[in-house]
Every structure is written in C-alpha cells, then in structure tokens.
Amino acid sequence: MYAERLLPFDTEAEEAVIGSILIDSDSLSKITSYVKPEDFYISKNKSCYFSCLSLFEKSEPINQVTLSHELSSNDLLDDIGGTEYLAYLVESVPTSIHIEHYAQIVQKTSTMRRLITTATEIADIGYNGVSDVESSLNKAEKLLFSIRSERAVGDFVHIRSVLDAYMEETASLDSDPSKISSTIPTGFPDIDKIFGGGLQPSDMIVVAARPSLGKSTLAFNIAQNASFKGLKVAIFSLEMSAEQIAMRLLSSQSGVDSHRLRINLISSDEETKVIDTIGQLSELPIYIDDTPIQSVSEMIGKAKRMQSESGIDLIIVDYLQLITGGRANSRQSENRVQEMGEISRSLKGMARDLNVPVLACSQLSRAVEQRPSHRPILSDLRESGSIEQDADIVSFIYREDVYTTESEWERKNPNDQYPANIAEIIVAKHRNGPTGTIPLYFRNDVVTFESLDARPESIT
C-alpha cells in the first residue's frame, strides 16, 4: 500500500553536502540559489544546513568550531548529535569538489517528496470539491505549478552569452526588420518598424481605447496575421463569444460585409468567397477561450497548460478590466485599483514565464470625453496606473472622425482633407524603443484595419 512506502530521500547525499561545506566553506555559494533547508529530509541535516546559511549570511567562517557554536546558540547542538556528528560529516566526504552533484540529489528527492505531498492534497481537493469542479481543477493546477516554479532557478549569466544570442538572432536580419526570428509580426509594416520587428517575447503590450474605436479589432487582426505565419495564438475573450470572433475574422479575411454575413444576406460570389475563407481559417493555429468571467490565475493556468501541451507564440487578452482578481465581489470592491495592479503584474509575469508577448486590450477612462482634446494620454488608462508601469508598450487608438464632423473639420482645417476612417495608433510608451504615431485605415464594413497604402482605390 502507498501509506506504507517511505518518502524518497538520500542520507549520504545530505551528509555529503554538509561535509563538503565544512571542508570548504566557499563551496556553499555554489548551491545556495537552489538548495533550501527544507530540501533536507533528515532533521539534523536540515538544522546543520540552516545554521551554515546563517553563518554565510553574516559573512562568518564556516567550520566545525563556528558551526558547533551556531547550533549551540540555538539549542540545536545536542539535537544533531553534538560535535561528534560534525566530525563524522567531515570524515564522510573526501573532497568538496562534487558538492553540486550531491546538492542536485538532495533537491531532486525533495521535489519528489513535494510531489507526493501535493498528490495527497489534490486527492483531498477531489474528495471535497465535487460541487465546484472548475475551482477544484484550478486549485490542483496551482499546486502543481507551484512545484515547477519553485524549481525554476535564476542566476547570473555572462554578458557574452547574451550578446552571442543576439548576434545569432540578427545574423539573418537585412533591411526587413520582421525577419528577427523571435518577434511576432503584426502584419502592419509601420507598427512592426516602431516595435523593432514586431511583438517581442516576454513583452506586455497594451492596446487601449474608448469603446467601439477598434481595440479588439486591432488585436484580432494581429492574431490573424500572426497565425498565417504559422504562429500559435491563444485568445482570452471575456467580452465576445468565440462565434463572434470567428465571424469577424471571416469577414475580415473574405472581404464580405460583416453585417450581411451575420444575417446571411450575401450573393453567390460572396458565398464562394466565404466557403473558401472558412477552409483557410480552419487551418490557422488560433485557439479561443471565451469564458466570460475568469480570474487572472485561471488564465495563467490555462496558458501554462497550453504551453506545455502544444506551445504558444502569442497571447491576447480582451480585455483587462473584465478580469477578476479571484476575490468575491471584486467588481464592487473599493480595492479594485489595487486589484487591477495585481492583474497587470500577473499578466506581465505570465509573459516573462512563458517567454511570449501578451497583448492586452484596455478601456480608457471617461476623462477622455470630458476635455477639449480627446486624444488619449497615459493617465487615461482606466483603474490603474500599474498598467502603465507594468506594460512594455502602451498604445492608444484615436479616430478624429468619431469626435469631429466633416463640416466642423472643414471649418477648422480648410486646407486639410477630412480624416474619414483614419485611425491613429499612438505609441505613448515604449520601454525599449521609440514612441510615435502610425496611421491606419479602418474598414468598418469588414471590421478590419489596413495600412494606408492598402486601402480601397475608391478612398482618396
């Protein structure tokens, strides 16, 4: 029976780690980043390692005498077997040269014990969480991911290795910046140019606008363009259903009016286009989760699961303010601003953990509507300045024709053409590059953005 099986541990490896430190105290610095006191199964070895770390943090020498004194000062010397045990540890290992090998064994067996304990916790969740299956699954996933994240160890890397990777990446780069292999092309050359070739891995990109100005449309256009390059795109849509997104993509790609497509009022030629386009879109690696209410932890869990199962190249979130923070009544919470900060930090963390760009749509506050100039600024980001802080890129969508009629424009700008259907993509923050404004043409009939040089010839 499982209850009768012993938890995995390695006595010799634990003793060899402590012995190696007592032989050469400098060897401790090789393993402190990934071996913790709780990784030791045998209590006296755990106490010894903890005391070694205490001495290390105080920059004191570590040897039999100092370790004995440290243990004694915490009433632990007798518990570990006295100075005789410390002498035994020194004699148990001939050299400290293999301390990293011993430490890896200690960490591995610790992880296995943690896995066994977690399996028991997951079993308890299964027995007690029948009424809420989704919540139970999320708790179980969180427990498993916590084990993996605890094993993730960051350490110094020499700048040479970073520069070598950069040189390898840019070796094939010529006049076309979209050839940088790690970037995700947006499909809009002017945007790719200002973004340094496209969306960068581990970046959080925010596209913000007032309602109905096209933030979802731009995000879906980018998803569609990336997927045609064979890149896997995960879309979290908390506002629109998967069917609505599919219809938008179908209209955009086929060029058939979205309203007539929705009510099936299309010609035979258009029907042929639609059928052909369905065949094309069906092969694209676009995955949509349209769960309307979900927490950021649920989204991260789903993204990590998809990454481990099939991989992800780009994540799109539509939109930030609809994500819950996991607390009851979070929408009515007076701490919503703080909660939005936690959400934006979590999404940025997800981008870094998975090493993929996360493009998140965001609402703007009503302050935009209440001032003479409706062109958005960074302080207009709704509910949280943390969005501005956490995002690597913040871009706004602005359309003059939404706020100014043609007659008003001609009166104020008699020598300039009315910017009908012209959207300004305002890059207001770019952590690693330039800011600026990119004009795009918005085709309302097929709900899509196009580069100005690609707009219909009838538009001048």
239 is catalytic: yes
> Can you spell out the DSSP letters for 55-75?
HHHTT---SHHHHHHHHHHTT
Angstrom CA distances, 206 to 326, 363, 434, stand at 22, 10, 15
- Report the distance separating Cα 75 and Cα 398, nearest Å: 68
Calpha distance 359→340 (Å, rounded) = 16
CA-to-CA distance for 176 and 195, rounded, in angstroms?
A: 13
Residue 383 Cα distances to 320, 337, 341, angstroms: 10, 5, 9
Measured between alpha carbons, how far is 334 from 336 in angstroms, rounded to an integer? 5
Catalytic residue among 60, 239, 270, 410: 239
- Cross-strand pairs, 233: 286, 314
Question: What is the residue whose two structure tokens read 């004995």?
Answer: 68
| Cβ partners under 8 Å of residue 372, min gap 6 | none
**Total Cβ atoms within 10 A of residue 121:** 12
Specify whether the CB–CB gap between 206 and 394 falls below 8 A.
Answer: yes
Q: List residues with catalytic annotation.
A: 239
